Amino acid sequence: MINRLVEKIKKTGAPIVVGLDPMLKYIPQYIRQTAYAEYGETLAGAGEAIWQYNKGIVDAICDLVPAVKPQIAMYEQFGLEGMQAFQKTVDYCHEKGLVVIGDVKRGDIGSTSEAYAAGHLGKVMVGSKVCRGFNEDFATVNPYLGSDGVKPFIKVCQEEKKGIFILVKTSNPSSGEFQDRFLQEDGKPLYEAVGRQVAKWSEECMGDTYSYVGAVVGATYPEQGKILRSIMPKSFILVPGYGAQGGKGADLVHFFNKDGLGAIVNSSRGIIAAYQQEKYAAFGERGYADASRAAVIDMREDIAQALK
Amino acid sequence: MINRLVEKIKKTGAPIVVGLDPMLKYIPQYIRQTAYAEYGETLAGAGEAIWQYNKGIVDAICDLVPAVKPQIAMYEQFGLEGMQAFQKTVDYCHEKGLVVIGDVKRGDIGSTSEAYAAGHLGKVMVGSKVCRGFNEDFATVNPYLGSDGVKPFIKVCQEEKKGIFILVKTSNPSSGEFQDRFLQEDGKPLYEAVGRQVAKWSEECMGDTYSYVGAVVGATYPEQGKILRSIMPKSFILVPGYGAQGGKGADLVHFFNKDGLGAIVNSSRGIIAAYQQEKYAAFGERGYADASRAAVIDMREDIAQALK
């Protein structure tokens, strides 16, 4: 799947992943009204609104980008009905040929991580039958529990040729609270130790040029990105924090390798709710999907300029 | 909810939480066969088997213990149908008067943690209506993203009088890989820094004697438990790792305060699959729920002896 991701990035010229992180306030009123008219102001109504909204965006951007990244929390908040919208979205993106990165940030003790890995990337046996749960192509993984918590994901990646991105240095303002603590052993921050471990894990699961084991490093920390890029040469970096969170095109150059690859940049709000920005306001509510398309094209250009 | 948990622990004399972490191999064959006969060897069949199995255990133990802890990964692996079994289990445990700790280990950047907190502990607005998702009473939270990732949970705890347990020192063999790294600032391990931060957070959200903000510390690390008990005096400690993972009654004494409170010990496999152990084999498959009940009574006695 990492080979497929690399190939699709080359083909589209867009090292971009669109974050499908729907909030009800982003969804045009006409979509919400139609959904509520059919299902009521209920969790099912919210799920339907999210699904219709996502579908419009996916149709508008699927030829431009290699991948999407649904943030499962935005679905999980609506309970089972939200999870249904998540599943429909994952399946629809697959139909449209997109690589799906499940932003699930799971991670637990060994036997439990096995279950998460099976549910999101792998398969389960029910009696004599093989069944698949959510079936994304990549998942994000939290490293706090150490190798026990990560290896079950790597095992499934090896079996299924799927991938993971491990949280190393996250994009949020307080990410440094624990991740930046300097370690006694070498005077370097914790995130570097996590990065070195990701580099080791990445060797266990190589695609043609990059590993199935990648990392998450926020666009909001470009200097740290530069160091982590060199620590984890074989890992793709999933870069959140571009756009709405403050990361700029010029900040991104450090996250890429000299081959122009090695990073994929996420934008969520900046694309899916583009029509709510002044810049794209002319599209109007009914043109929300076209506004998303325009925002992707602008982002592609912004990154291309930065990488020149 | 922390007050209610304390009250129920006093009433039952059992600082015990039963981990409802079903695996198909634990489920008696007759339950699986009935479920597969109705729904096929499908995710729905697995979900039905899990739900029927859980129901039997909950009926058998609900008067003995204050709380249950379903591990969501064990449901999530069966996709939407597994999540349905999770929801049914949570709702049924509430009907039976049990406190439900959702072992979800969620945690993300601020806006995303808000969504997780809403979905598991709080509410969402859909149009003009208030809706609730999974609606557990407590959730477990991963601290790797720092305060941004934790505070949205604390806010919901304040509003809803619910609680969280933050991962500090987990029970698994490799938990030390990052959690035990010594910090340059004070020569102490990372988990102590996390514990000190939990102590700060716990003050923002106090019940009568204990905080709504608790911690997870594994029974498998009793010496670390002793230190963390003193660092976080107001936090309840959720203690996994007893029984199947190797933690013994005698190890538990350090996790409790002098008031005999302050900790709640989890056992999953050791209780829900008790009938598969030699000790409880006489109950047989059909007596699996009674075997669970016997195992709870033995565990209560083991802990009482240790705390004498």
Q: Tens digits of per-residue pLDDT, A71-95?
A: 999 999 999 999 999 999 999 999 9
To test the contact with chain A by mutation, choose from B31, B177, B182 the residue with the greatest count of A C-beta atoms within 10 A, namely: B177
Residues of B whose CB is below 8 A from A181:
183-185, 190, 193
For B43-86, the pLDDT digits (tens) are: 999 999 999 999 999 999 999 999 999 999 999 999 999 999 99
For B110-121, the pLDDT digits (tens) are: 999 999 999 999
Share of residues in chain B with pLDDT > 70 (%): 100
Strand ranges, E, within chain A: 16-18, 67-68, 99-106, 124-126, 129-131, 138-141, 163-169, 213-217, 237-239, 263-267
Three-class SS state of A11: helix
Residues of B whose CB is below 8 A from A120:
76
DSSP-derived secondary structure for B31-96: HHHHHHHHH-SSHHHHHHHHHHHHHHHHHHHTTT-SEE--BTHHHHTTHHHHHHHHHHHHHHHHHT
Q: Residue B77 and residue A128: Cβ atoms within 8 Å?
A: no
Tell me which chain A residue has its CA closest to the CA of residue B74. A115
* A245 pLDDT tier (thresholds 50, 70, 90): confident
Q: Are A88 and A126 in contact (CB under 8 A)?
A: no
Would you state the pLDDT for residue B114? 98
Would you state the pLDDT for residue A9? 97
Q: Are B266 and B239 in contact (CB under 8 A)?
A: yes
Residues facing A120 on adjacent strands: none
* B244 pLDDT tier (thresholds 50, 70, 90): confident
Rounded to whole angstroms, the Cα distance separating A174 from A189 reads 14
Task: Indicate if the pLDDT at residue A250 is higher than 90.
Answer: no
Task: Indicate if the pLDDT at residue B246 is higher than 80.
Answer: no
Rounded to whole angstroms, the Cα distance separating A139 from A150 reads 11
Rounded to whole angstroms, the Cα distance separating B72 from B21 reads 8
Cα of A3 to nearest chain B Cα, Å: 26
ipTM of the complex: 0.97
Q: Which tokens hold the place of A149?
A: 């918590």
Size of interface A-B (CB pairs under 8 A): 243
For residue B151, the surrounding DSSP H or E stretch is: helix B147-160
Q: Residue B109 and residue A171: Cβ atoms within 8 Å?
A: yes
For B211-225, the pLDDT digits (tens) are: 999 999 999 999 999
Could you tell me whether strands A124-126 and A129-131 are parallel, antiparallel, or unpaired per DSSP bridges? antiparallel
The residues in B 46-105 lying below 8 A from A, measured between CB atoms, are: 46, 71, 73-74, 76-80, 82-84, 87, 105
Rounded to whole angstroms, the Cα distance separating B124 from A23 reads 11
User: Which of B73, B116, B132 is opposite residue A108, by nearest beta carbon?
Assistant: B73
The one-letter amino acid code at B274 reads: A
- Report the pLDDT averaged over residues A206-210: 96
Cα of B135 to nearest chain A Cα, Å: 9
